[in-house]
A and B are shown apart, each in its own frame.
Chain A
Amino acid sequence: MTWNESLPLLVLASSLVPGLIIFCLAEESKGLRTALNLVGVVLKLLLVAVMVWGVEQGQSYEVRFPLLPGIDFVLRADALSMFFALLSAVLWLATTIYAIGYLEDSPKRNRFFGFFSLCVTATLGVALAGNLVTFLLFYELLTLATYPLVVHRGTQVSLRAGRVYLAYTLTGGALLLAGIAWLHALAGNLEFTAQGFLSGLVQDHSAALVAIFVLLIAGLGAKAALVPLHGWLPQAMVAPAPVSALLHAVAVVKAGAFGIVRVVHDVYGFEVVAQLGVAGPLAAIAAVTIVYGSLRALFQTDIKRRLAFSTVSQVSYIVLGTAIAGPVATVGGVAHLVHQGLMKITLFFCAGNLAETLGIHRVEDLRGVGRRMPWTMAAFTLGALGMIGVPPMAGFFSKWFLASGGLDVGQPWVIAVLIASSLLNAAYFLPVIWTAWFRAPPETWPAERAPARGETSLMLLLPTVLVAASALGVGLLASMPFSPLQWVGLIVDVEYAP
């Protein structure tokens, strides 16, 4: 096995192995567990960085062995997979540090970090999967690895949320499987191919292809929280803050959105999607989700629930960009994978800091918290402004490209949807910012557990500030080489090559 073949496996192993070891550790061996976690995430980041650099240089990384008769297990690095892989690796590093700080002194940390590592393994597998079956394997593994994290607290509420989560995602998985099986029977081939591999079948099997498309999108939409399949997401926010952060920023919902990008571009190809007439309905569902999620967010008083509905809305930007055939809109949509990830993880880290340090869970309890926790609230403000789409935050660039792309292909209604979303985002984020910075703080906080010095533990604060700074940085430096936008440009050039 050559280096280029083993690299994708090493990327997966860098979290799988530490995860499995952690399961076997004693609960008290905190030092070893922490070391394993950190070595794993740093190693993974390095490996992924090497692969990103290699892909940019034109290297190909692929490993393949037969899984079932006629079906291979394929891990392959292309521009799109590395984009998602790098996002996962970076945010995992931040979240692992955060989680170590967050779960200090809480029970069952072995179980938590073990599944945590399995979860990242599955996400990287989703990113690197080279065909639909490999994708499905890791997609399901992700469901299973996330469940114990969602119910980690073990309370009634979290168990119920876990069951709802399973009901949605397993139903979704079954639909996805049905679609994949049908497609396998029809096309024989399931390898992801730039511009799709189904153009030869459109003539004879258009009805079947539409049905399969519906199955696949429904299966993936359950994780991507497309309305009306979004019900699990707001409930799952009972999970510990680092889990919510991951769920919303990179792992679960993003796996769904990433899958939709794959299906539209590398299975069907945008031209086939347009010919089948399914692009319009998909765009419509995305638009409805964008507006509906924001509307629901407006009426939430719990900070994390508000953020959860905001995720429902924001993740559909990716779907919208994918559904609007046209390179510019695709850039906006795919770049939003990273942009939304950075901004939303910031917001969830902040919510976690507030809950851990001051016991704040509700928007109204945020009064004057800006003075007590200025760094956290500064990070929150940046993230929220990004969600609204204020330049130079990352979110603005997603919106700019989505809107320009919509115009390019003669669909100016996209601008109206984005404006509606911006207004709604402003309506539910600005009052939070105003409450935190401009209202007088109360005498005492709901449940203060402040550290000796600083506004909160450094392990919580540092990742928060760093991801907030990145959300600003990828916007400010949007034209630098290796910025998300530039990288997406590379991907899209391949997809839309003549």
Chain B
Amino acid sequence: MTGASLDAWLLLLIPSAPLAVACALMLWPTRRALTLLAPWAALPALACALGLAPPLEIDLPWLLLGTQLGLDHTARIFLFFTAFLWLAAGVFATGYLQEGDGRARFFVFFLFAMAGNLGLIIAGDMLSFYASFAMMSFASYGLILHNRTAEAGRAGRIYIVMVVAGEVLLFAALILAAAAADSLLFADVPPALAEAPTRDVVLALAVAGFGIKLGVLGLHVWLPLAHPVAPTPASAVLSGAMIKAGLLGWLRLLPLGEGPALEGWGLLLMAVGLLAVFYAAFVGIAQRNPKTVLAYSSVSQMGLVTTAIGLGLAVPTRWPEISAIVLFLALHHALAKGALFLGVGMAASRFAAGRYRWLVAAGLVLPALALAGAPFTSGGLVKALLKPEAMALPAPWGAPLAALVSWTLVGTVLLMARFLYLAWPSGASAGAPSARASSGYSLAVPWATLIAALLLSAFTSGLAGAEAVWTWSAVLSGVATLALAAACTALAGWLLAKVDWHRIPLPASGDLVVPVERGLASLLRTSARALHDLRYRLSGGEAAAKSYLTTLRRLLAPAVSIEGGWAPACTMFLALLLLLAAISAT
């Protein structure tokens, strides 16, 4: 064992705490204390993120093919928001799920997914990352199917297909990357990859493989189906925390800030990302379930992340600045999306009916504003800082990209308006199952903490130039743009209210997957028929084999009748021996 510091040993607690609680819960599913303990399994991770100073490293040469766990700056930020969100969502779940709802089962899957998600953040080598990624992906299948509805079944089916597709894409990507770098360590891979002849293949596989988790346009189809059908606290971690595992994979594997500028890849990712921002907004506003709207908002926000990564590939010299913004964007989105999803649960709880109704409403509006990029919020900060970086692109791309980045606000405002309209606490839904909870604090406290952290993050980001962003003119223009966008939205909403929505063919949730599903179904029917035909033809071959067997049996018939064929076998064996003897004697 290497001389790792004591601090580094603490990293082992991060995945093992949730694993231990999960195993205990499987053995004693009826212990209430264990379900109450479950969320706090994320606490060691949160403590490590806050208390340990990177860089830390520990080698476990006996685990897998030699595991390295470590905490660097990137891991620390990811660990912070991931552990925080898991903890908040977990506490929320203890109040949200009742005894009869299969709570123990939920928490077992929840904890395994948590262990995977936290483990992949501190993974320093590809195999432990891949193993954690797989554990997270397969365990969250149980979260998505938790409600056992037909809808959940369909979402789960599409989800698991995409998971398996992602797994094999990543398998190929990691094998090729490991061969290129001759190492399993993330520290060695990106520099080696930048020069490797297989670079473009690995890039394509990794962009797609992690892109499935991240919901890159075209690969996002599972996400708006799966995120909303899970119980609300699970939706929060799926859409807030686990989605970022794809981003972390990119950060670890892609040659960002290394080697030559990859302008082709950069432009491709930026194009796909920006398209996703607007496309997801367009499809999202047509949804009727607030959680589906939030899922589309995640696709849209991850489009922005994709754009930033593309920018980093195209302009490697600016990567240090861009990576800081990407990390903050990830943190901001995790907190905001977590708060919004839990807000949906709050809006259906008893708080939404009573005198706290306006507090609940405010708690929905604040993260929505942050996501839309209002002045003095984390979202506003991200967009303000990203714009100048866009200008670093070579002409003629810089200015249009900067402009497009500001226009993404329109999409987000539309989505958030639609969301608030759907989720607004009317008090009518106060009879929902979650409303009967006596443990109101376990719902309200984690939710309020998330919102507070989100609001605070705008002022404690530590990003270069963050203090200088909110000049008078920037605030004024921010407020003005937001007001304009809100006014447009209101106008559009008023106009659309006059229209019979049901007569417009709205894009269904899961958009692109719908025609694919139909196509697949017909393909399956056709291939089943073809297979049937094929078997019919192949049976000719089978008949030949059968006739061979029949002949053999007839030849051996006198002996076969004795004892099912064993005696002739022995005879043949003896004959073989004699034959062998004869040959060797010559």
Contacts and interface: CB of A to CB of B under 8 A. Distances in A.
Interface of A: 68-71, 133, 136, 140, 143-144, 147-148, 151, 159, 162-164, 166-167, 170-171, 173-174, 177, 180-181, 184-185, 231, 299, 374, 385, 388-392, 396-397, 399-400, 403-404, 407-408, 415, 418-419, 422-423, 426, 430, 434, 437-438, 440, 475-480
Given A140-B576, A390-B138, A476 B168 contact: no
A392 B579 contact: no
A407 B176 contact: yes
B164 interface: yes
A480 B130 CA distance: 20
Given A400-B175, A404-B178, 11 more contacts: A68-B585, A71-B584, A144-B573, A147-B565, A163-B564, A177-B576, A399-B171, A400-B65, A422-B168, A423-B164, A438-B148
B175 A407 contact: yes
Given A389-B171, A476-B64, A477-B63, A143 B569 contact: yes
Contact of B580 (A68, A144, A399, A434): A68
Contact of A391 (B127, B172, B178): B127
B62 A385 contact: no
B560 interface: yes
A166 B176 CA distance: 44
Contacts of B172: 403, 415, 419
25 contacts: A68-B581, A70-B584, A133-B580, A140-B573, A143-B573, A144-B569, A148-B566, A151-B564, A159-B564, A163-B549, A166-B566, A166-B569, A174-B572, A385-B138, A390-B138, A391-B130, A403-B172, A403-B175, A407-B179, A415-B175, A419-B172, A430-B164, A478-B65, A479-B62, A480-B62
B552 interface: yes
Given A68-B585, A478-B64, A147 B569 contact: yes
A482 to B, nearest CB: 11
A140 B138 CA distance: 44
Contact of B565 (A162, A403, A415, A423): A162
Closest 4 CB pairs of A and B: A391-B131, A426-B164, A181-B583, A419-B168
A438 B156 CA distance: 11
A162 B565 CA distance: 8
B576 A166 contact: no
Nearest to B583: A181
B585 A69 contact: yes
B258 interface: no
A390 B62 contact: no
Contacts of A162: 564-566
A422 B171 contact: yes
Interface in B168-217: 168, 171-172, 175-176, 178-179
A400 B174 CA distance: 9
B66 interface: yes
B579 A177 contact: yes
B145 interface: yes
Contacts of A440: 148
B134 interface: yes
A231 B538 CA distance: 14
Interface in B136-167: 138, 142, 145, 148, 156, 160, 164-165, 167
B570 interface: yes
Nearest to B201: A412
Interface in B53-107: 61-66
Contacts of B568: 166
Instruction: Give the interface centre of A69, A389, A426, A440 by most chain B CB atoms within 10 Å.
Output: A426
A403 B583 contact: no
A188 B253 CA distance: 55
A174 B576 contact: yes
Interface in B511-567: 531, 545, 549, 552-553, 560, 564-566
Contacts of B26: 374
A415 to B, nearest CB: 5
A185 B583 contact: yes
A479 B65 contact: yes
Given A133-B580, A163-B553, A404-B178, A391 B134 contact: yes
